[in-house]
């Protein structure tokens, strides 16, 4: 939990490449734990470490790094997902403090996080430059959390809404400068997209392992189904896409800070999530009727993997971002 935090604030100060290796290993066993880790590390701890004042970092990062606190990132709203221009949450200056109002939706770690990075409009007329980021403690007056979402998958990861009603935030909790919220969000999302790519790789890896194991154990027509060409070719394709996804994900992680980092993060997230969805589909198909039973692990992975092409920017948005960066 401290991998994205510098050593002087209690973290391990490891690289993005180190982080994706860890996420892959955890996601192979439990994608829900992996996404909770990503939310606390990549879109909470990392932006504070990168954009926070020295006082803010000293005050909040040690508890995030130790796991005493979990973090969350509150950007999405009921009417504003990929379309950040539709954001309606507001922050109004009140002396040295800010008063926040609005509702955030689909927030990972909602209800268990003790710290939220919240984006809100500080200047309605300034467009892109009118949004600011705030570090908001969960026990702040005026902050409440809605009921947990009943999700298709990732059921062990808490997801819910965060409601801000005249929520007072100290001025020292402004992250970066006023109007820098969108820049901070874009940087954090590039970081977390690589994390989602690593989560997808971990899921893909486990789906392949399960497919191989079942194909070797399941006997039909007097021999294991692993001996049939249709099954063998499917497994070969799954394994090839897995290696491609892992290489692209690690290349994106290694590029952190470069001019190509954003594009590679989108490419990794796009390819790895689409490949993992296909792998879980194929693995369940190899399991046959057994794969449709909750007694088999592949049923959970099939549910868990579906959202990877949606959150942190849909596959459609990733294609748009990739093309925009190439054609600039």
Question: How far is 5 from 223, CA to CA, in rounded Å?
Answer: 53
Tokens of residue 129, six digits: 């430059």
Catalytic residue flag (residue 312): yes
Tokens of residue 142, six digits: 């005026």
Tokens of residue 252, six digits: 């994106």
Would you call 96 exposed, middle or buried from its count of C-beta atoms within 10 A (0-12, 13-18, 19+)?
A: exposed
User: What does DSSP assign to residue 147?
Assistant: P
Alpha carbon distances (Å) from 176 to 42, 131, 135: 16, 11, 10
Question: How far is 234 from 281, CA to CA, in rounded Å?
Answer: 11
Contacts of 257 (CB under 8 A, 6+ apart): none
- Sequence length of the chain is 328
Residue 132 bridge partners (DSSP): 120
Question: How far is 189 from 167, CA to CA, in rounded Å?
Answer: 25
SS3 185: helix
Tokens of residue 265, six digits: 């993060």
Residue among 25, 295, 312, 316 flagged as catalytic: 312
Q: Which residues are annotated as catalytic?
A: 312
């Amino acid at each position: 939990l401290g991998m994205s935090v510098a050593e002087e604030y209690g973290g391990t100060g490891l690289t993005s490449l180190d982080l994706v290796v860890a996420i892959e290993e955890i996601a192979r066993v439990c994608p829900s734990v992996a996404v909770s880790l990503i939310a606390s590390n990549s879109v909470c701890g990392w932006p504070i470490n990168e954009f926070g004042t020295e006082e803010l970092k000293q005050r909040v990062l040690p508890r995030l790094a130790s796991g005493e606190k979990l973090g969350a990132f509150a950007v999405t709203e009921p009417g504003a997902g990929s379309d950040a221009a539709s954001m309606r949450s507001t922050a109004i200056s009140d002396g040295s403090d800010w008063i926040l109002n609005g509702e955030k939706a689909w927030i990972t770690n909602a209800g268990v996080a003790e710290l939220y990075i919240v984006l809100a409009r500080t200047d309605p007329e300034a467009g892109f430059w009118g949004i600011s980021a705030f570090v908001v403690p969960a026990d702040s007056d005026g902050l409440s959390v809605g009921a947990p979402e009943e999700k298709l998958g990732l059921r062990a990861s808490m997801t819910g809404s965060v409601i801000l009603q005249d929520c007072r935030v100290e001025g020292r909790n402004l992250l970066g400068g006023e109007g820098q919220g969108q820049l901070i969000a874009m940087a954090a999302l590039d970081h977390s997209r690589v994390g989602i790519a690593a989560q997808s790789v971990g899921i893909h890896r486990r789906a392949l392992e399960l497919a191989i194991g079942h194909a070797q154990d399941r006997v039909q027509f007097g021999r294991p189904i692993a001996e049939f060409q249709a099954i063998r070719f499917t497994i070969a394709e799954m394994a090839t896409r897995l290696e491609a996804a892992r290489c692209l994900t690690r290349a994106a992680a290694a590029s952190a800070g470069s001019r190509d980092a954003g594009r590679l993060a989108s490419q990794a997230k796009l390819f790895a999530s689409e490949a993992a969805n296909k792998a879980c589909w194929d693995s369940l198909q190899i399991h046959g009727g057994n794969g449709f039973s909750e007694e088999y692990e592949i049923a959970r992975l099939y549910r868990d993997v579906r959202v990877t092409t949606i959150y942190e920017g849909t596959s459609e948005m990733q294609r748009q971002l990739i093309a925009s960066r190439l054609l600039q």
